[in-house]
Amino acid sequence: MEATSEFAPLPLRFVDQIQWRYELIRPLVLFEERPTPPEAIRQRAHATGSHPETVRKFTRRFEQQGLLGLLPEAVAVIPKGPAPHVPPEVVAAIGRLKALYEGFQYQELVRIILCTCRYRMTDKTAKRLWQQNPAVQGALPLGDYHSHPDRAEARREVLKLYAQGWNKLSISRVLHVSRPTVDRWMQRFEAEDLAGLVDRPRGPRAPRTVWFPLMVAIDHLQKAHPDAGAFRIWSLLANDTISVRTVGRVMALNRHVYDDIPPPQGAKGPKQPAQPHPYKAHGPHEYWCIDGRKMDFALDGVRWWSVIILDGYSRTMLAGAIAPAEASWVTLMVLYTACLRYGAPQYCISDSGGAFTSNAVTAVLKRLAITPNPLVSTHGDSYTNLLETHFNIQRRLYDYQFAQTTTPTELEQMPQRFMTTYNTTAHYGLWQEGCTPPIPLRVLGDAKGRLYPPDELTHKFSQALFPRTTNQYGCVTLHSYPFYVEAGVPQTQILWWVYGEQGRAVLDHVVLAEYHCRYDWRDHKVQDLHDGVFYPTRFASPQGSLLPLNPHAALVLYRPKSLTPQVPRPRSSPQLWLFELVQRA
């Protein structure tokens, strides 16, 4: 490569190497645009007889360092700008940090850049970038903690800075808070998450005082339910401002202050360890539990039975009844009511008693496609029936109310009151499982099982159930047998349940009358009704009857008039005497 005639004698006149290098690139740095086009570099290299890379190197060094870039490599100085391998976003981040706070340590800068820009560098590189680059103008400074409108948001900003690599000393100096305060916020966040950053009094608290009317309300509930514990009284109180433990302390105080609170009947035994439940329901109406309990009191010398159906998922009592005996007809009556309201479940858990494993009950379960799971109590499996433990709730919550009844009418209303109270108050098991709210009826919601139309459901119970409507005198007719039920329920549909040699007329879970009868399973007809027994119920007519009925009265039959219209017959002509007939002829 040869130089042009204009540039060839110039090196003979230059005494300094820097002057020759500047003359080499002078037209490029004075007249060309930035960055220098490659074509201009090639033309200047051709004109001076130099290599294009030499011209390009001196041009780039002059643009970056000025005349210092033209010094020989032995005396070259450290460039003012960042090294070419440092990304521009790192340089911009250094400038913003310098505008926010100037007391950073270089190792702290390395940590901040690593957390924010994912760029790893040494503390020497951080020092060089910090010294060479000015602060970015326009970067908003961090606000003072004490002037922040939202204290919780300011504490979250502290956590954000700490997560970005800031140390606690820099955070405390920037926000004008002490170092122990920053440490305390970190400890609260580790212990309580974001809830620990909310303002609330954390100093020593005075003992909580209970309002006197609230103590009086707890006293009234104790008198009405003396066997109920602290959780059951708390659920009946339905007040979220007081805890279960506080209710227990108030109950203990009331027993010392008031003498009219009945003592609990049964003492608690040792707490049994929790065992895994083999029939854990994963949804509503998967498992139904049915069982009966003989009440601890007697009415007119008879200890009544309480039969209840419970949903295994929501712990909701779906249906229940109280009867003088634990019989299959009671089981079928309760099962019919539950299926009519909520549909049929998949499985039915019961004990091995005859009232739940009889042929009539088994046949109905088979027609409803319900798989029965009878438990043998002698094998120690009784605990798997949830009603075994829920009967304890009935005993503690409402047995005292049951014992106060003096008439069958009052006793008939108690099961529905108990189920309403139970289904609408908090349940301890649901509370432990984290259900919100822990109320059985709210957990069940609108869930239904396999629904059957009323006519089809009645057909499923056809061998045990006959729906009939009373006439104006309170009588019904079943398979050509008219019989009396109750004069107080005219033109009302009742259910006639037949099991074995017993027939019972039931209305709203209340037995109105009983008869001995014989049911022919081949013809599906009821025959030979006799020995009627009538019970005083809330449906009784207020008007006294001409023939008073007692619980052991004889059968009262009502024979309706013939419904066949009377057809007038033609009158025959009167018979005349023979002589009179001849005379007329």
Distance, C-alpha 162 to centroid of its chain: 36
Spatial distance between the Cα atoms of 340 and 361, rounded to a whole number of angstroms: 16
pLDDT tens by residue, 463-501: 667 788 888 878 888 777 778 888 888 888 888 877 656
> Of the candidates 228, 579, 516, 234, which has an alpha carbon nearest to the alpha carbon of residue 397?
228
- Alpha-carbon distances of 364 from 54, 216, 241, rounded to whole Å: 103, 50, 48
Q: What are the two backbone dihedrals, phi and then psi, of residue 152, each rounded to the nearest 5 degrees?
A: -65, -40
pLDDT tens by residue, 222-267: 888 888 888 888 888 888 888 888 898 888 888 888 887 777 665 5
> Of the candidates 27, 51, 47, 23, which has an alpha carbon nearest to the alpha carbon of residue 37?
27
Q: Is the dihedral of CA 101, 102, 105, 108 positive or negative?
A: positive
> Of the candidates 527, 363, 359, 372, which has an alpha carbon nearest to the alpha carbon of residue 459?
363
Distance, C-alpha 351 to centroid of its chain: 30
Spatial distance between the Cα atoms of 174 and 138, rounded to a whole number of angstroms: 18
pLDDT of residue 311: 92
Task: Locate 506 and state its tokens.
Answer: 């039931």
Spatial distance between the Cα atoms of 185 and 174, rounded to a whole number of angstroms: 16
Residue 388: Cβ within 10 Å count: 16
> Of the candidates 64, 77, 46, which has an alpha carbon nearest to the alpha carbon of residue 24?
46
Cis peptide before 226 (omega within 30 of 0): no
List of residues 6+ apart from 346 with CB closer than 8 A: 285, 286, 287, 370, 371, 449
Q: What is the mean pLDDT of residues 267-294?
A: 79
- Alpha-carbon distances of 59 from 4, 76, 82, 113, rounded to whole Å: 20, 15, 18, 33
Q: Going by DSSP bridges, is the β-strand pair 287-294/305-311 parallel, antiparallel, or unpaired?
A: antiparallel
With vertex at residue 207, the alpha carbon angle to CA 203 and CA 213, rounded to the nearest 5 degrees, is 135
Q: What percent of the chain has a predicted confidence (pLDDT) above 70? A: 80
Residue 118 Rama label (left phi>0; alpha psi -120 to 50; beta): left
Q: How confident is the model at residue 581 (pLDDT cuts 50, 70, 90)?
A: very low
Residue 51: Cβ within 10 Å count: 11
Q: What is the dihedral of CA 42, 46, 51, 57, to 10 degrees?
A: -50
Spatial distance between the Cα atoms of 466 and 479, rounded to a whole number of angstroms: 10
Residue 3 pLDDT > 50? yes
pLDDT tens by residue, 417-444: 888 888 998 888 888 888 888 899 999 9
List of residues 6+ apart from 480 with CB closer than 8 A: none
> Of the candidates 345, 347, 371, 370, which has an alpha carbon nearest to the alpha carbon of residue 450?
345
How many helices (H) and strands (E) are present in the chain, helices listed first? 22, 12
DSSP codes joined into one string, 60-84: HHHHHHGGGGGS-GGGPPPPSSPPT
Residue 278 pLDDT > 90? no
Spatial distance between the Cα atoms of 11 and 23, rounded to a whole number of angstroms: 10
Q: What is the mean pLDDT of residues 73-96?
A: 70
pLDDT tens by residue, 352-405: 777 788 887 888 899 899 998 888 765 566 667 787 778 888 887 777 778 788
**Which one-letter amino acid corresponds to residue 137?**
Q
> Of the candidates 306, 370, 330, 342, which has an alpha carbon nearest to the alpha carbon of residue 441?
342
Q: What is the mean pLDDT of residues 44-59?
A: 87
Task: Locate 323 and state its tokens.
Answer: 């009867």
To the nearest whole number, what is the mean pLDDT of the chain?
79
Spatial distance between the Cα atoms of 121 and 109, rounded to a whole number of angstroms: 10
Spatial distance between the Cα atoms of 528 and 516, rounded to a whole number of angstroms: 8
Q: Which of 253-257, 307-311, 408-412 has the highest mean pLDDT?
A: 307-311
Spatial distance between the Cα atoms of 443 and 519, rounded to a whole number of angstroms: 43
456 contacts 444 by C-beta, under 8 angstroms: no
List of residues 6+ apart from 200 with CB closer than 8 A: none
pLDDT tens by residue, 507-562: 877 888 888 777 665 565 677 777 778 877 888 777 766 555 544 444 444 444 44
Burial class (CB in 10 A: 0-12, 13-18, 19+), 77: exposed
402 contacts 414 by C-beta, under 8 angstroms: yes
3-state helix, strand, coil in the chain (%, to 5): 45, 15, 40
